[in-house]
Amino acid sequence: MAVSSTQVQFDSLFGLFTYLAIAVSIIVFSLLIYFIVKYRDRPSSRQPNDTPILGKLPRSRGHAKSVVVTVSLSTIILVVLIIGSFGAIDNILTPPQHVCPGCAMEVTAHQFYWQFTYPNGTKPYDTRDILRVPVGENIRLNVTSADVFHDFGIIGYDIKTDAIPGRTNVVWFYPHTTGNFTIQCFELCGVGHATMKGTLMVMSQAAYSAWYDSTVVH
């Protein structure tokens, strides 16, 4: 079962590409095998009348219809893939305008840890490397960096965006299940890069509210 909205998007896009590729492969390889068997070389075989001859202009073969059919089918498949891809990109790059109180966090990358700041200004030391979010709510993250280029990614969530000083990249997701997931830096940022990991803690809404309300406002 998918754990987040982004994973659903990527899985369905992957499925669309895969199933179309399988359908095209089956048609192409079936025809290939059929023609290999049907037109195999036999003692009675002879050259067809329209065989190209060296030094002579080729005769029109009158296959315009099959060309139109194959070009049209290819166009339809490409258009379906383009629409599916742009739909997914649009969904992933368009964060919801309104999220619940406590569901929009600032993510700041440092050499070599992640700092998470909550809408009420909460930045207790234990939110270093631990991002708590409620399940079943849209979550919006404003990702930036305090020093060098980093890349914020959540493994299993299919989420990744650059963390760049002076710039804010917005990502969003909707967690489907509670549990812990690994946050990792995906851009070589110095000697501590490999240790730059964190935890996404997806909590029940009640547990998250209790934690969020108990945090001290600085």
Bond preceding residue 112 cis, omega within 30 of 0: yes
Kindly write out the interface string for residues 114-153 of this chain, putting x where it contacts Cu ion by CB under 5 A and - elsewhere: ------------------------------------x---
| Min dist. Cβ of residue 185 to Cu ion (A) | 3
Is residue 196 involved in binding Cu ion (CB under 5 A)?
yes
| Min dist. Cβ of residue 152 to Cu ion (A) | 9
Judged by CB under 5 A, the stretch of 119-127, 128-136, 154-162, 184-192 that binds Cu ion is: 184-192
Taking CB under 5 A as the criterion, the residue among 189, 200, 202, 203 binding Cu ion is 189
∠ CA 191-197-198, nearest 5°, is: 150
* d(C-alpha 112, C-alpha 72), whole Å: 53
Q: Tokens 């199933």 label which residue?
A: 19
| Min dist. Cβ of residue 155 to Cu ion (A) | 15
Q: Which residues contact 175 (CB under 8 A, 6 or more apart)?
A: 3, 4, 133, 134, 135, 136, 137, 139, 202
Question: Within the chain, how many helices (H) and strands (E) appear?
Answer: 3, 9
Q: Which value, in Å, is the radius of gyration of the alpha carbons in the chain?
A: 27
Beta carbon nearer to Cu ion, 3 or 196: 196
| Min dist. Cβ of residue 150 to Cu ion (A) | 3
> Where do contacts with Cu ion occur on this chain (CB under 5 A)?
150, 185, 189, 196
